[in-house]
Each structure stands twice: as structure tokens, then as C-alpha cells.
Structure 1
């Protein structure tokens, strides 16, 4: 059974909730799924499956505290991520203007700089428009599985 990791960066639990809600969709598609709340570089360098990032933005476009060590390692060690295929769900609040979904956008750029391949478009969930982020994430994941032909079961 192929493996799918969901790497979570959350401050108040919203991104973790999204990860837990979408996990069954991947299991139904034939994946063994791990949700990783304190990701390390090893989670993206030694994993040849697909990775989904669920990342909240805090403050002025910042990464949540639990996700900062992962990002710092990525920047400092600069590993090649040419085998990493990923999707990205970014959570933010458009009332913050320019920094809306700043962490997700910054992560996307960082992964691209290291040679990773994003599958499909990034989902940006706006807390001003969507009270429950999984209301946007569930249909997006269903479409993502279909459009990227990820179903293995």
C-alpha cells in the first residue's frame, strides 16, 4: 500500500483538523496515511510517496511555531527535493491583506526552490469566507485525487 504523509503546521488546531478530516479520503483512495504534527526534514527526504502540507499562517504571514524548525532545517540544509511530489492547503485570513496565506505561499516557494513538484494548484482557505476550513478542503482533496490520478485502490 503506498504511503501518504500529511505534514501539519498549526497554531490553534485548524490545520490539524483539516488533516484529520481529509485523511479518510486518501485511505479510501488506497493510501496508508500518517499525520505528522512536528515534521522533520527526514519526512520529506526519505519519503518517496506523496506529501500533503496543511499549513496555517500566523502573525504577519509567519509559520506556526511547531513548523518553524522544519522550515529552518529546509533553508539551512538545502536538500534536493526533486523526488518530492506534494499538494498544499494553506489557511489564512484575508483581513491581514498582503500576508494572507503567507506561510503557505512561502512554503510553496521554498519547496519549489529545492526542486519539489507541486501536483495541481495550491488551495488557499480564507477564514473570512469559510468558517470551517474542511468545508473547502474536502471537495478540493476529492478533486485533487481525481485530477492528479492519485487513486490506487
Structure 2
């Protein structure tokens, strides 16, 4: 059974809630799922990762949430090269912060691609100004992502 690792960057728990809500969709598609809410680079590269999904909220002026900072700093410093990693990304933000809307998710996406990882499909950006419950947007996106990227293994 392939492994999906969900890496969470959150300040107040919204991105973790999204990760927990979408987990059953991946289990139904045939994946073992592990959620990392205090992720380290070793969580990604220390054991096989068949598929990764990043659920990342944005804080401050487009900043990476504190729980994800060690992961991001190690990724930048160690530059492990992620060729072969397939991933998806869900970015949570607030469009009233025009210049930094979904800034953490966008920056992480760029960093992952710079390391050679391949994003499958488009990044989902969830706007808190339009969507009260982020999982209302994430659940249908994940279901479609699994279908369009042919990720179902069960």
C-alpha cells in the first residue's frame, strides 16, 4: 500500500483540520496516510514517500507558520534534491492581505519545485474571505485531484 504523507503548516489549526478532513479520501483511494503537524525534513526524505500533500496557512506578511519553519529552513540549507517526489499543495490565506495572499504556500511550492519535486495539478488556494470552512473547498478539490491525477490505487 503506497504512503501519502501530509505535511501541515498551521498557526491556529485550520490547516491541520483540513488535513484531518481529507485523510479518509486518500485512505479510500488506497493509501496509508500519515499527518505531520510538526514536520521535519527527515519525515519527508528519511523514509519512502510515494506522494506528499502540503496543507499550509499563511501568517503575518506571507510568512511560513512557526511549526513548518524548521522543515523549510532544513530544506533550504540541506538542499536534498527532491527529484521523483510528487506532491500537491493546499494553501490557505486571506485575500484582504493582497501582497501576501497565500504567501507561505506559494513560497513553499516554489522551494519544492526548485528542489526538483513535481507538483501534480494546480495548487489549491483557499481564501478565508470567501470560504468560512476551508475543508468545504478542500474536500471537493482533493476528490477531483485524486481522479484527474489518477492517484487511486485501491
Fold equivalence (TM over 0.5): yes
Query: What is the match of residue 99 of structure 2?
Result: 98
* Unaligned residue ranges in structure 1 (runs of 5+): none
* Unaligned residue ranges in structure 2 (runs of 5+): none
Question: 2 CA distance for matches of 1:5 and 1:33?
Answer: 6
CA contact (8 A) 1:8 1:54 kept: yes
Question: 1 CA distance for matches of 2:89 and 2:2?
Answer: 19
**What is the Cα-based RMSD across aligned positions, in Å?**
0.7
Deviation at 1:44, TM superposition (A): 2.1
Calculate the TM-score normalised by the size of structure 2.
Answer: 0.98
- Number of matched residues? 153
Deviation at 1:42, TM superposition (A): 1.5
Query: What is the match of residue 140 of structure 1?
Result: 141
Query: What is the match of residue 3 of structure 2?
Result: 3
CA contact (8 A) 1:44 1:84 kept: no
Provide, for residues 74-125 of structure 1, a one-character-per-residue CA deviation record: whole Å limited to 9, x for no partner: 0111111002100000000000001000000000000010000000000000
CA contact (8 A) 1:82 1:117 kept: yes
Provide, for residues 49-86 of structure 1, a one-character-per-residue CA deviation record: whole Å limited to 9, x for no partner: 10000000000000110000000000111111002100
Question: 1 CA distance for matches of 2:49 and 2:9?
Answer: 21
Calculate the TM-score normalised by the size of structure 1.
Answer: 0.98
Give the ranges of 4+ consecutive aligned residues of structure 1 lying more than 2 Å apart after TM superposition.
none
